[in-house]
């Protein structure tokens, strides 16, 4: 299966369960693999024959920056839901990372994989 890749999308949002995390926006880094068939788009060179990654990214940015999740897992699931709003998406892998969340670690994160027919 072909994939479109959105890598290292750096956004700020409310994320976490601690009092300070509920008040101050924090950085999250998002990586998304969108599984789709790109064969027709490769032949036609027409944006209508593929998933428009710009549109998907704008929807994700709007959702994440306006969100207030407790858990990275919930944010990742919300991002996957946005991906599936687009008809040509067959599956997606979403990784959400939170820099500085754990002492002695660069970042912590969660990765989920979802498929349309599973």
Give the pLDDT of residue 15.
96
Q: Is the pLDDT of residue 24 over 70?
A: yes
Domain covering 2-115 in this structure, CATH number: 3.30.1130.10
Question: What is the Cα–Cα distance from 63 to 102, expressed in whole angstroms?
Answer: 25
Segments making up each domain of the chain, as ranges: 2-115
Q: What is the mean pLDDT of residues 29-35?
A: 98
What pLDDT sits at residue 118?
A: 67
- The fraction of the chain above a pLDDT of 70, given in percent, is 99
Average pLDDT of the chain to the nearest whole number:
96
Mean pLDDT, residues 40-48: 97
Alpha-carbon gap, residue 118 to 20, rounded angstroms: 38
Mean pLDDT value across residues 87-104 = 95
- Residues annotated as catalytic (active site), given as ranges: 98
Radius of gyration over every alpha carbon of the chain, rounded to an integer in angstroms = 15
- Report, as an integer, the average pLDDT of 48-67: 97
Say how far apart CA 3 and CA 43 lie, in whole Å. 16
């Amino acid at each position: 299966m072909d994939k479109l890749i959105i890598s290292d999308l750096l956004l700020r949002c409310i994320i976490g369960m601690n009092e300070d995390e509920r008040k101050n926006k924090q950085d999250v880094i998002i990586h998304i693999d969108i599984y789709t068939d790109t064969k027709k788009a490769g032949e036609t060179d027409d944006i209508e024959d593929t998933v428009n990654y710009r549109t998907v990214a704008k929807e994700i940015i709007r959702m994440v920056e306006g969100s207030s999740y407790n858990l990275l897992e919930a944010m990742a699931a919300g991002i996957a839901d946005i991906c599936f709003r687009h008809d040509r998406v067959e599956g997606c892998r979403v990784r959400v990372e939170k820099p500085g969340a754990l002492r002695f670690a660069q970042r912590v994160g969660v990765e989920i994989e979802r498929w349309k027919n599973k």
